[in-house]
Amino acid sequence: MPGLFIGLMSGTSMDGIDAVLTEFGPQPVLRQHVHQPFPPQLRDTLLGLNEPGADELQRAALAANALSLGYAAAVRSLLAQAGVAARDVLAVGCHGQTVRHNPRAGYTIQLVNGALLAELSGIRVVCDFRSRDIAAGGEGAPLVPAFHRAVFASPKQARAIVNIGGIANITRLPLHGPVTGFDCGPGNVLMDGWIAAHVGQAYDTGGAWAAQGRALPELLERLLGHEFFERPPPKSTGRDLFNLPALRKMLRGDERPQDVQATLLELTAASIARALDAHCADAVEVYLCGGGARNGALAARIAGLLPGRRVESTDVLGIAAEAVEAAAFAWLAQRTLAGEPGNLPAVTGAQGPRVLGAIYPA
């Protein structure tokens, strides 16, 4: 189904909304990308909904409405910058904001009011992509490996795509055999939370604060001892497992904050490198995407732990690192409208391929 699609992504980092306008034809072309930060109050509300609390149903419903207003504003800004009318866009693919992810209990929650977003944007909306995969026995995530296969696979070299959002996930693109993928652990979620708590910054630009500290070996060992790292793929995770309260339980209490930040950077790099060595040994090329790809210290450390492999960002493959996930949900919306599966059972563990998403007409 060729044409223009919009993808909207607000990930586990909760730093804001990425919106992309993508034209699908023989090859996808990224026409425009905008990033819209979350207002602090909305971010605090969303963070609070990751844990049990009072009046959750109303708080979640109001947050979904506020998010949808933000998504609609991002769509308007995107269309204005691209010089495109809403009537020319076939659909908006919106991931929504994950506040709970518990596939073992059979559910996942991504906040968005699809009906409101369709009403405000005047464009058909496809959302709730994870639920059908979970209903089919899968993890519901990661869903982007199918897109990675479509746009980044090479007939000459085995590759791995590492998306470093709040959570890090890996897609293995072999020369032969099925594409596989899985969440491999925390990406930016712990680093972002720690620097916000101690410095008041949303994220550690370039890893500069982490560079002022040194990784603490004993703390790193405790963190890498989490049972999630030993669990075989397919697997997925989120703030349910990796969060500041859980981190603080592992601290003695006398650590320098910047040393903890350095340790968290090492945790992300080491867990990614270990997962690549264990499950993607054939991948001689590793491409980074997501916000973590812009953390120079983190990218350099990952490259240092992967000697003999080419490590670069997806920029060199034609899609800016920070736009890949949003583009993936534009692609997934296209698949939904075409009646084509959007999941990879080898990645999610679902019983088979499934058409994903719920459709809200314009």
Q: Where are the domains of the chain?
A: 3-141+323-360, 145-317
**296, 209 in Cβ contact below 8 A?**
no
Structure tokens of 270?
A: 């080491």
Going by the DSSP 8-state scheme, the letter that residue 16 receives in this structure is E
Reduced to 3 states (helix: H, G, I; strand: E, B; else coil), residue 10 is: coil
Going by the DSSP 8-state scheme, the letter that residue 322 receives in this structure is G
Structure tokens of 35?
A: 């990033």
Position 51 scores a pLDDT of: 86
For the domain made up of 3-141+323-360, the CATH class stated in words is alpha beta
191 burial via Cβ count (<10 Å: 0-12, 13-18, 19+): buried
Q: Identify the residue whose tokens are 């264990």.
A: 278
Cα–Cα distance measured from residue 252 to residue 133, given in angstroms and rounded to the nearest whole number: 40
Tally the residues of the chain. 362
Position 82 scores a pLDDT of: 98
* C-alpha distances out from residue 124 to 61, 73, 85, 112, 238, Å: 21, 15, 13, 14, 29
Position 267 scores a pLDDT of: 98
Q: Do 3-141+323-360 and 145-317 come out as alike in CATH topology?
A: yes
Position 341 scores a pLDDT of: 98
Radius of gyration, alpha carbons of the chain: 19
**330, 29 in Cβ contact below 8 A?**
no
**174, 282 in Cβ contact below 8 A?**
yes
Cα–Cα distance measured from residue 247 to residue 254, given in angstroms and rounded to the nearest whole number: 14
Q: Identify the residue whose tokens are 């910047």.
A: 258
Per-residue pLDDT of the chain (362 residues; tens, 9 = 90+): 789 999 999 988 888 999 999 999 988 899 999 999 999 999 999 999 988 899 999 999 999 999 999 999 999 999 999 999 999 999 999 999 999 999 999 999 999 999 999 999 999 999 999 999 999 999 999 999 999 999 999 999 999 999 999 999 999 999 999 999 999 999 999 999 999 999 999 999 999 999 999 999 999 999 999 999 999 999 999 999 999 999 999 999 999 999 999 999 999 999 999 999 999 999 999 999 999 999 999 999 999 999 999 999 999 999 999 999 999 999 999 999 999 999 999 999 999 999 999 999 99
CATH topology of domain 145-317: Nucleotidyltransferase; domain 5 (3.30.420)
